[in-house]
Structure formats: C-alpha cells, structure tokens
Structure 1
Amino acid sequence: MKLNLHDARTATSIGRWLGAAIVVCFVTGVISHYVQLPPDWLAGALPSRPSWGYRFTQGLHVASGIAAIPLLLAKLWTVYPRLFIWPPLRSVRHALERASVAVLVGAAIFQLFSGLLNTAQWYPWPFSFVPVHFAVAWLLLGALVLHLAVKYPEIKAHWGKRSPGTLELPVAEGPDRRSLLTGVAAAVGAVTLTTVGQSFTPLKRFDLLAPRHPDHGEQGLPVNRTAAAARVTDVSAADWRLTVLGKYSYELTLDELAAMPQHTVTLPIACVEGWSKSADWTGVRVRDLLERAGARPGSAVRVVSLERRGSYRVMEMGGGYTDDPLTLLALRLGGRTLSPDHGYPARIIAPNRPGVLQTKWVTRMEAM
C-alpha cells in the first residue's frame, strides 16, 4: 500500500508556500512597476530613501519569482489527476473552480517563465514585456483570489498538520508526504541559493545559475546596455557639452563640470533583471546644477541621453530625488573615470532607483 501524494492535503501544503511566494512577488512587482513607470500623481512623491530600497524589493521580487517555479511545478504534479476528471463541469461552483484554475495556471506559467527569461534579457515574443507582465500580474491575482474563495472549505479542512480521515503511513511503505515536501523545499532552496547572490552579495560565491554575477563587468560592475549597443562610442571630451535648462540656462564643458565641487557617495545599481551591486560614485550633486540654473529646491528634472534610440533615453526624476544630496551627475566610478559602457562622460546615479533610470551618456538636463 502506498500513500497517495496527489491528495488535497499535499496540494494544500505546497499551495501555502506557492501562495506566499506569489503574493511577495506580486507586491514587490507592483512596487517595481510604479517606481519605474510612475503615474503623474505619484512621480513627485516617490521617496529617495532608503537608498537601498529598490535593490531590496527588486531582488526579493526576482528571488520569490524564481523560488515559485519549482513550487508551481510541484503543485501541478499534486493536482494534475483532478484536472482531467469527467464530466468536466458538474455544477456552477465546479465551473467557477475550473475557470479559476485554468486562468490561474495559465497566468502563473506565463508570469514566472516570462519573468525568468527577462532576467536573461531574452524576449522571444512580439509584445512589450513590461506592460503585459504588469497586466497579467493583476489577472493572476484575481484568479488566485477567486480560486481561494471557491476552494476555501477544502483548504480549511486540510490546512492543519493532520486532516480528518487521513492516515499517515510509515516511510517504508511508500513515498511519504514529508519526503516530498522536503524534496520540494530542497529544490526551492537550491534555485534560490544559486541565483540570489546576484543581488544579495554575501551569497555571490554561490551565484552559479543567475545570468549576472555582481563582480563581472567593467570597473567591477555589470553592464546591461553597452556603449556599442547605444551607438555612443565616439564621444569626444573636447566636443561634449552639458546643457542645463532653467531660468538661467547654461552649458558646461567636461573640464568645467569636473572643476565644480565633487562629492563621493556609495550607492547600488539595481536592475529590473534582479542583479545589483553597490559602488563608489563621484560627481556633482544634481541639486547644485539645478540651483545654478535658477530652479526651485525640489524641482523635477528631465534628463536626456546622447543615446538616440531606446525607451529610456529620456528620463524624468521627481523632486524627492533631485533634492537628495546622494543624487549625482557622476563622472567617476570607483575612483576612475567612467568607462564608455558605464556612461562616459557623465551619468545619473540616484538612491532607490531602478538601473534603467540611472541615465548614462547625459547631455542635457531640464528643470521642470
């Protein structure tokens, strides 16, 4: 006699873990989306502190999404015999359950595996990843809430350590639930340990499966978009100018910018793909540049890159960031002049911001 592991109690046990991972992934994903693409009513209210905030939430987003993959596969394994029961629809409640399951499974598979491909910057689909991923996240949440509501009686009955009418068999008589759950936990631990080091640098030595290692890249920092990809490899220091537009607009050469008071801050680059690393940046405070242009304290700014194409060649930053003394137009990284791939001759570095908004190859700033 063998213990049936395709039962409600096993499904509930794994479902608790999977539900927690999905909720964490959803909440941190919403935070990421609104920090990256804030609506007008939120843009000026986004906080710049804690400086490591986006690094933490986005690292947790990617880590929980990756951890959810083995949990989803295990959950589907426990329930798959019931996906093919006959007749397929027995009542209105059963129809709602089946509909919620279909949407839930489809949305979960799409979200987790498209998100995984995004960490590797591989997009084998014709649509824009960010808006679709965000929209399907809400669809997934709705399907999950409906599924929990429909299945609540069964979940409640099997939530505890011992469920009514269940009999635990000795391990020797067949595969037991504890062994299965231990194996699933080990799989979750393994994929987390071998990927989370891309953002949680104390574990970077175990970063075997993540597409980025925090120490690999020019000047000890990874690069997503190179100068060659952006077609800004021929920037001349003699010809480059920074234009700052405001009440008293002005231009600066690179030498003039370097002659201004320089400040060094330690801030992370935290990318939406999940990797992050702190570094020492040196440059001119953005608020000093805006003040010289006659902008009011806390003014927003529009930053324009030399990059001619790309979704983020123009970036807007609210007053919470521009007024923060940690926000720099950086000229140096780790004590050395920025390399072309890191944004030479000048780039933005600000606290609690996604890497895509740390604009490189800056040529113009407009006080708003």
Structure 2
Amino acid sequence: MPRSPSSPAFWRSPLRGPWFTSVLGVVLLVGITVLFVTGLLSYAAYNPNLSAVNDKTPDKGILGFYLFSWPTRPVWLYRLTQGVHVTLGVGLIPVLLAKLWSVVPKLFALPPARSLAHALERLSLLLLVGGALFEFTTGVLNIQLDYVFPGSFYTLHFYGAWVFMAAFVTHAVLRVPTALRNLRHIRRPSPLSSPEPGRLSSPEPSPRPSPRPGPGPGPASVSPDRAGDRPGAGEPARPEDELVSPDPLPPTVSRRGALGFVGGGSVLLVATTAGHSFDGPLRDTALLAPHGGAEPGSGPGGFQINKTAASRGITATETSEEAWRLVVTGKGGTVRLSRAELQELPLRSAALPIACVEGWSTSDQWWRGVRLRDLAGLVGYEKDAPGVLVESLQRHGAFRVAALRDNQVRDPRSLLALFVNGEDLTPDHGYPARVIVPAAPGVLNTKWVARMTFGDL
C-alpha cells in the first residue's frame, strides 16, 4: 500500500527522535529569545514614540508598551545590540532548518487534533513554522539589500516578530517540560559514523527492548544512539514518539554527528557574517554579510556607507558653497547659515562609530563640526536644548526626515559634522553637512542636511 506523509512509516530517517529535536529546541529557545530582545531594542533606538516621521508602525498600540528613551552612552550600544541581532540570526539558520526538518512528520499527523491541548500545540506549531520562515527570510533579504516583499520591512518584520513570539511562547510552554525531560532522561548518543569494516554500525543491544517490531524476525534492539527514543515495554506511548520512524533506514551518521554538522554550518555562517561589525582584516571575512569585503575607497572617507549621493538624487549643484544653506528654526526665529559661516562657529570633535540596522558598523571615525546644542542656542535655546527635526536634501528612500530626542541633542558629542578624519565630508558621507549622534542607528544620522527645526516635534 502506498505510504502518505500522514503515515509514520513515510518518514524513515533514523535521526529523528525526541533527543535530537530537544537539543535543537533548547538552542533555539535561547537564541530566539536573544533575537527578540535585541530586535525590540533596535526598534526602541528608532524613537518611534518621538515623532511620526520615525514611527514605521503607527498602529502598534500596546505592542509599544516597553519603549523608552534611547541613551547616548555607551557610544557602541547600537553597534553591539544590532550586530548581535543580525549575526546571531544568520548563525541560527541551520539550527532552525534542522529543527523544522526534525518535526516535519508532526505537520502531517492525523487526526489534526486529539484534544484541546493537542489542537493548541498544532496551531502554535503551524504559526511557529510560518512565523520563523517569514522572519528569517525577510531579515536576510533586508540585510542583503535585496528586499523584495511588498510593504515596509519595518512594519512586516515588527508585527511578524510579535506573531512569531506569541506562537513561540505558547509552544515553549507546552513543550519545554517535555524537552527538558528528554534531555535529562535520554542517554547521549553513541557515534555510528565509524562502523566496523563491512558493517553500517555495531550497536550493543539495549537492555530495554522496543515494543515495536523491528525490520527482521524477533524483537528489534535499540542502539545507544536511539536509546530512550521509544517507551519501554509496558510504558504508554508518548506524543514525541511520533518523531521516531517505525521502519527506519540504516543509519549512516549518528545524531551527534548530525548535530555537529548543523553546528558547523552555524559556525561557518557566523564566521562569514560577523566581520561586518569590524574594520580592518576581519571585514574581509564577511563574505555573506552586506557590504562585506573591501572598504569603499581609501583615505579619510574610506569607510562604509549605506546610501550614495547619486542613489538619493543629490546633485553637486545644490550642495555647492554658492547654493547650499542650512536653515535652523526655533522659538527665537530662523537663521540661514552657509558652510563657511558654520565653520566660523565653535567647532568640536568626537570619535564615533556608525551602526546600521543591517548589522554592519564601522569603528570610531573622527568627526568635527558644530554641536547640535550650540545650533539650538542660535535659535533661542541657550539652556535645555529640545529635540530636533532634521530634514535632508535626499529625494528618494526612507528617513528623509528624522527626529532626535532632547537627550541626543544635548550630548556634547552630537554634531552637525562638516569634516571626518581631518578632511571635508565626501558627497557619499553627507557633504556639505551631516548629523552624527552617539549610539543612534545610522538612518538617524541624517546626511545632506538642509533644515533643522528645534522644539515641538
């Protein structure tokens, strides 16, 4: 009789079993929790409650309950949290795929629900699988700058994360006790990948015979690699036994070996991604990361960028000394400043990195320009400078306008930068002037600044 995916005999891999699935589940439990927390921190760093121009999820409601004022210290805070978020997310892909492979028989199991608890578990599993694939896929497409999903990445990824985490928590509550019991009571597997000559494996008989018939005459023995995957004689069947094939193929690798293969894949992805958070030789190892490899150009401006002047419609004519003016507005009125007039104001320097939502970052660059709080002082805010709305000359792309909090404006290292590493800004780094703020996401460090409005946002 032909087998269907709903039949346990359809799935014949000897690797599937509660121990293998539980190990992967515990790794994902820890890893995805870190991903979720760092993702929420990234969302908070965008200051979505500050201004509508920063809020890409205006209908979030109670989902924004935790939002707080993003700090400016330490300066590497966003570089750390978002670097961990992206690198860990990429590194967990092999673990996620192995986990989905290990539980795929449950997706086809019949009947669909044997009880209310089982129905909740099946529903959480479907949402978990769909949510995981959606979140990891959209995340990878975004960091590779090849995003193809309709709609805003921020909106889809944010709401998708909450749906996924709701399913994840539900599934964890239902399954973590079982997973921990499996890890505690199931013996660790013995290697099957180094069999004696002429044999696939040489397992010793288990002291506990399997209640299921083996492929040959007589009771089937259970290898140490599978010990504990099935109940002993007289024991009731367990839900996790659905993962164990009643007619497995001969093993060609142990579960320990399979876990090593999955772990090796994760290590390889981390090793070819993490370098995008560093400069120098390590950046050359970021083969799978956005902007990996050699730095764009050389000299004082030879560090990473995310958007070029040409891609945002910036022309040399409008940024020339003759044409460009910075318009600064506040309760004390409006001033217009040329680049030469800005250079006559007190200039300050700060060593700050740039960190982007895609996970890449630079080391500290040496910026020089006018402090934001000094610009606020020009328009009536000599003390207690407020937040500021910054507008760019750019014509295309998100965050043409961005808002900064008062704590960001007041930080003495927050600058309207005119120079970087001892030279004028290059066109791609925001010439004639750009904002640079400690610990802020890269898109809030507005380039090609045209107008700054201090006060009510």
Cα pair distance change 1:253/1:357, threshold 3 Å = same
Which of 359, 384, 387 lines up with 1:300 in the alignment? 387
Matched, 1:111 2:135: yes
Q: How far off is 1:89 after superposition?
A: 2.1
> 1:201-233, CA deviations, whole angstroms, 9 ceiling, x for partnerless residues?
473242122121375225222222111111112
Partner of 2:452: 365
| Aligned-partner Cα distance in 2 for 1:136–1:38 | 17
1:186 counterpart (264, 284, 299): 264
Letter in 2 for 1:220: G
- What are the ranges of 5 or more consecutive residues in structure 2 without an aligned counterpart? 1-11, 51-64, 196-200, 202-250
3-state SS of the aligned residue for 1:158? helix
Q: Partner residue of 2:111?
A: 87
Distance 2:190 2:134 in 1: 37
1:159 shift after superposition: 2.9
Query: 3-state DSSP class of the match of 1:270?
Result: coil
CA distance in 2 between partners of 1:43 and 1:140 (Å): 20
Aligned position for 1:144: 168
Task: Give 1:242 shift.
Answer: 1.1
Paired position in structure 1 for 2:410: 323
Structure number with the higher helix fraction is 1
1:217 matched to 2:296? The reply is: yes
Contact 1:215/1:221 (<8 A) preserved: no
2:322 to 219, 229, 238: 238
2:19, 2:405 → 1: CA distance? Answer: 50
Deviation of 1:292 (Å): 2.1
TM-superposed deviation, 1:46: 2.4
> Following TM superposition, by how much is the alpha carbon of 1:37 offset from its aligned partner in structure 2, in angstroms?
4.1
Deviation by residue 1:53-77 (Cα, 9 ceiling, x = unmatched): 0111010110111112111111112
Q: How many residues align?
A: 364
Tell whether the 8 Å contact from 1:215 to 1:222 is kept in structure 2 after alignment: no
1:250 positional shift: 1.5
Deviation at 1:248, TM superposition (A): 4.2
Conservation of the 8 A alpha-carbon contact between 1:44 and 1:318: no
> How far 1:181 moved relative to its partner?
1.4
Which of 353, 363, 371 is matched with 1:285 structurally? 371
For the residue of structure 1 that corresponds to 2:324, the secondary structure is: coil
Structure 1: state its 5+ residue gaps. Answer: none
1:276 CA drift (Å):
0.4
Q: 1:265 aligns with which of 331, 350, 353?
A: 350
Match for 2:43 among 28, 33, 42? Answer: 33
The residue that corresponds to 2:309 in the other structure is 227
Rounded Cα–Cα distance in structure 1 between residues aligned with 2:66 and 2:431:
31
Is contact 2:285-2:292 (8 Å) kept?
Answer: no
Distance 1:77 1:252, change over 3 A: same
Tell whether the 8 Å contact from 2:385 to 2:406 is kept in structure 1 after alignment.
yes
Deviation sequence 1:125-157 (CA, Å, 0-9, x none):
221110110001011111011101222342131
1:333 to 2:415 alignment = no
Change (3 A) 1:320 1:44: farther
Specify the code of the residue in structure 2 equivalent to 1:7.
Answer: G
**TM-score, structure 1 normalization:** 0.93
Q: Is the 8 A contact 2:44 2:69 kept in 1?
A: no
Tell me if the contact between 2:284 and 2:292 (Cα under 8 Å) persists in the aligned partners.
no
Relative to the length of structure 2, the TM-score reads 0.76
The match for 1:15 is 25
* Separation in 2, partners of 1:43, 1:149: 26
Cα distance in 1, alignment partners of residues 190 and 34 from structure 2: 34
Q: Percent identity?
A: 41
Amino acid at match of 1:60: V
Separation in 2, partners of 1:21, 1:258: 48
Aligned residue number for residue 239 of structure 2: none
Secondary structure class of the residue paired with 1:49: coil
Q: What SS is found at the alignment partner of 2:72?
A: coil
Instruction: Supply the RMSD in Å over aligned alpha carbons.
Output: 2.1
Q: 8 Å contact 1:214–1:275 — kept in the other structure?
A: no
Structure 1 runs of 4+ aligned residues shifted over 4 Å read: 41-44
Whichever residue aligns with residue 327 of structure 2, its letter is T
1:313 equivalent to 2:392? Answer no
1:234-255 deviation line (CA, Å, top 9, x unaligned)? 2211121111112143221111
